[in-house]
A and B are shown apart, each in its own frame.
Chain A
Amino acid sequence: KAGVTQTPRYLIKTRGQQVTLSCSPISGHRSVSWYQQTPGQGLQFLFEYFSETQRNKGNFPGRFSGRQFSNSRSEMNVSTLELGDSALYLCASNPQGSLHGYTFGSGTRLTVV
């Protein structure tokens, strides 16, 4: 079966712009989580969506938002980009709950200049 698909793979944006990243989970998986990975802070949890509802949110400013559609596909949006938002953004899908391992996508590498 197809894995987790994240688009785009690479993105370059200018400070102040906004960006939308997309994630298509494994078919049948209802939980989609987003993580930010930077050299300085490591892997940090952004938020989790389950059945179109945000079930969990990490400690990120309100500029970071997300949503999930009825087909479980998820998007995350970052507004008013800052240089520090440059990171690898990873999406993970999970059948339901955390009793199973997560399947991660290849990530979107965002560079803010």
Chain B
Amino acid sequence: SQQGEEDPQALSIQEGENATMNCSYKTSINNLQWYRQNSGRGLVHLILIRSNEREKHSGRLRVTLDTSKKSSSLLITASRAADTASYFCATDNPETSGSRLTFGEGTQLTVNP
């Protein structure tokens, strides 16, 4: 079963608008990562935020992390049609040995030109 829950499940906006996606998780984490997936393709790593960080930026992406609420948000500013994809958060549990990501259910973002 998925640890994370993301909302909204689907988001439709106009080009140039900002898109915000939220993710909640249940266990303690080493870090939280965001990935993008274009239809039926592999996942592309976007950004990683460590458990001791609160905010991180990368280009048009801004990620926040609130470990007290076990939640994170991904903001995409000035969206483009090419941003249309599914976005997933993934967490890494420090109580699990090795590398193992637990994914959220994903948000389907549609950016209309």
Cross-chain contact A94 with B2 (CB below 8 angstroms): no
Which residue of chain B is the closest to A100 with respect to CB atoms? B48
19 extra interface residue pairs, beta carbon distance < 8 Å, beyond A102-B43, A102-B101: A6-B42, A33-B100, A33-B101, A42-B104, A42-B105, A43-B88, A55-B99, A56-B98, A56-B99, A58-B100, A92-B43, A92-B101, A101-B47, A102-B33, A102-B45, A103-B45, A104-B43, A107-B40, A109-B40
Which residue of chain B is the closest to A53 with respect to CB atoms? B98
B41 at the interface (CB under 8 A from A): yes
Cross-chain contact A88 with B103 (CB below 8 angstroms): no
Cross-chain contact B30 with A99 (CB below 8 angstroms): yes
Give A4 to B2 CA distance when docked, in angstroms: 25
If A43-B88, A98-B92, A100-B48 touch, whether A48 touches B42 (CB-CB below 8 Å) is: no
If A33-B101, A43-B103 touch, whether A99 touches B42 (CB-CB below 8 Å) is: no
Cβ–Cβ < 8 Å partners of A6 in chain B: 42
Contact residues of A: prevailing secondary structure: strand
Cross-chain contact B102 with A56 (CB below 8 angstroms): no
Interface size on B (CB < 8 Å)? 28
If A42-B2, A42-B106, A101-B48 touch, whether A90 touches B99 (CB-CB below 8 Å) is: no
Instruction: Select one of A4, A50, A98, A99 contacting B101, CB under 8 A.
Output: A98
Interface size on A (CB < 8 Å)? 31
A68 at the interface (CB under 8 A from B): no
Mark contacts of B59-93 with chain A using CB atoms, 8 A cut-off: 1 yes-contact digit, 0 otherwise.
00000000000000000000000000000101010
Instruction: Select one of A45, A94, A104 contacting B102, CB under 8 A.
Output: A45
The 29 sampled A-B contact pairs (Cβ below 8 Å) are A31-B98, A41-B1, A45-B100, A45-B102, A50-B98, A50-B99, A55-B99, A56-B97, A56-B99, A56-B100, A97-B98, A98-B30, A98-B31, A98-B92, A98-B100, A99-B30, A99-B31, A101-B47, A101-B48, A102-B33, A102-B43, A102-B99, A102-B101, A103-B45, A104-B35, A104-B44, A106-B42, A107-B41, A107-B42
